[in-house]
């Protein structure tokens, strides 16, 4: 009976096709989570403009008799609440994206590592794949342990 | 194949519920008891409660009634009051003069372009010649703050026509009460999100199963 191998056992022995799939899927997932993060950031940055528009619309609706004073006050409170949520959702989605992107980078890393240890590739190419894998590992470690990277010139 | 079709149907239902939630919430936000339209009552309504316009409505806890009351005919003076139903029925039996009756507290707003929103409290409102007010009523008030007092109420309108050739009083009135819009919208959206979450979990479970068994 052939020995059952788990995914973890198979990792160093991934063939070229599977390794390429890992890299491509990892890239796709990273792009999707990155998009999610940028959209969330854009919503948070533009929350001020939305609030200005919503307050103006609320005033106009009151002036045109769409609703009365109590509803005008309630809608004002709703606008403030939604504005605060628009600012706060950035924290939630950024952290989800951080987890997703790191997982995607791990998949890409596994793909490049598999190429680096593949025997049917020439030495120079394997070295390049290993360097790329090392760079991705460095990026994963750095983004895991540090909140942001800043460069200041004085 | 059937399983795939079922999963797609579940996905469509989930997305449909999320889209339909806010639409249904908006549509059922207010329940229209009296669509805003013109009404006519005789001038004798100013002295006899039985000739006045009356519309009953019921308020539950935290429910608000919204009345839009307007007059756009010259020579007309129309007055609006809101009574507790039992009080109204007792006065109706004796055909009292509505001018001397005590109405319930409400707040009203008038809309002037460019003016900051404001409201005032009253127990009756009078419009002469022309004007429009937006009345909000929950049973009681404290200053301009509404207090919910569930019960059965009657909105009454009476008035006079100063034109000697015309004995009728014309006014426009619309009556709405808060509907289940907010709750319905939340239920639909939450149900849609739960269905989409289940769909995502099911997909993830199937994918991990395939990985475990090996492709």
Which residues in chain A touch residue B134, judged by CB atoms under 8 angstroms apart? 65, 67-69
Report the distance separating Cα A22 and Cα A75, nearest Å.
49
A70/B112 CB distance under 8 A: no
Residue B154 CB neighbours (<10 A): 21
Give me the residue from B111, B115, B211 closest to A65, CB to CB.
B111
Band of residue B72 on the pLDDT scale cut at 50, 70, 90:
confident
Strands B145-148 and B124-137: unpaired
- For range B138-146, the mean pLDDT: 91
Q: Tell me, what's the ipTM?
A: 0.71
Please give chain A's pLDDT, 154 residues, in tens.
Answer: 555 666 666 655 677 888 888 899 999 999 999 999 999 999 999 999 999 999 999 998 888 888 888 889 999 999 999 999 999 999 999 999 989 999 999 999 988 988 888 878 888 888 898 999 899 888 888 877 776 655 555 5
CA dihedral B110, B116, B120, B126 (to 10 degrees): -20
Which residues in chain A touch residue B115, judged by CB atoms under 8 angstroms apart? 63
Residues of B within an 8 Å Cβ radius of A: 64, 66, 68, 107-109, 111-115, 117-119, 132, 134-136, 144, 146, 211-212
Does the pTM surpass 0.80? The reply is no
Instruction: Write the DSSP symbol of residue B47.
Output: T
Cβ-contact B147, B141 below 8 angstroms: yes
For tokens 């026509």, the residue is B161
Report the distance separating Cα A146 and Cα A127, nearest Å.
28
Report the distance separating Cα A7 and Cα A11, nearest Å.
6
- Nearest chain B alpha carbon to A58: B117
Residues of A within an 8 Å Cβ radius of B: 7, 59, 62-65, 67-73
Q: How far apart are the first and last CA of chain B?
A: 19
Residues B158-187: tens digit of each pLDDT? 999 998 898 999 999 999 999 988 889 999
B114/A59 CB distance under 8 A: no
Domain B30-178 classification at class level: mainly beta
Distance from CA of A126 to the nearest CA of B (A): 27
Residue from B79, B39, B47, B54 nearest B168 by CA: B39
A70/B146 CB distance under 8 A: yes
| Predicted local confidence at residue A12, as pLDDT | 59
pLDDT higher than 70, residue B214: no
Q: What is the DSSP code string of A30-56?
A: HHHHHHHHHHHHHHHHTHHHHHHHHHH
Report the distance separating Cα B63 and Cα B180, nearest Å.
10
């Amino acid at each position: 009976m052939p020995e059952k191998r788990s995914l973890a056992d198979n990792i160093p022995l991934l063939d070229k096709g599977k390794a390429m799939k890992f890299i491509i899927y990892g890239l796709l997932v990273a792009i999707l989570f990155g998009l999610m993060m940028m959209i969330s950031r854009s919503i948070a940055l533009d929350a001020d403009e939305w609030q200005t528009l919503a307050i103006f619309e609320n005033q106009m609706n009151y002036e045109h008799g769409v609703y009365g004073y109590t509803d005008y006050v309630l809608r004002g409170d709703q606008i403030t609440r939604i504005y605060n949520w628009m600012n706060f959702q950035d924290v939630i989605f950024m952290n989800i994206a951080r987890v997703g992107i790191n997982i995607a980078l791990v998949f890409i890393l596994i793909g490049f590592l598999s190429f680096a240890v593949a025997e049917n590739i020439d030495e120079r190419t394997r070295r390049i794949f290993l360097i790329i894998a090392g760079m991705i590992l460095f990026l994963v470690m750095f983004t895991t342990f540090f909140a942001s990277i800043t460069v200041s010139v004085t | 194949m059937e399983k795939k079709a079922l999963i797609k149907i579940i996905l469509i239902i989930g997305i449909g519920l999320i889209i339909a939630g806010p639409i249904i919430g908006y549509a059922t936000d207010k329940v229209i008891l009296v669509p805003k339209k013109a009404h006519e009552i005789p001038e004798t309504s100013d002295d006899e409660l039985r000739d006045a316009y009356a519309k009953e409505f019921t308020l539950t806890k935290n429910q608000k009634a919204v009345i839009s009351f307007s007059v756009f005919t010259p020579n007309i003076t129309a007055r609006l009051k809101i009574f507790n139903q039992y009080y109204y029925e007792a006065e109706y039996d004796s055909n009292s003069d509505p001018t001397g009756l005590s109405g319930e507290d409400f707040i009203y707003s008038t809309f002037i372009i460019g003016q900051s929103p404001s409201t005032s409290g009253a127990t009756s409102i009078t419009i002469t010649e022309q004007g429009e007010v937006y009345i909000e009523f929950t049973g009681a008030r404290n200053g301009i703050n509404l207090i919910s007092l569930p019960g059965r109420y009657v909105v009454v309108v009476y008035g006079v026509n100063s034109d000697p050739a015309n004995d009728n009083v014309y006014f426009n009135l619309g009556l709405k009460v808060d509907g289940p819009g907010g709750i319905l919208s939340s239920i639909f959206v939450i149900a849609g999100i739960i269905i989409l979450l289940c769909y995502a979990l099911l997909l993830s479970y199937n994918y991990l199963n395939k990985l475990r068994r090996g492709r």
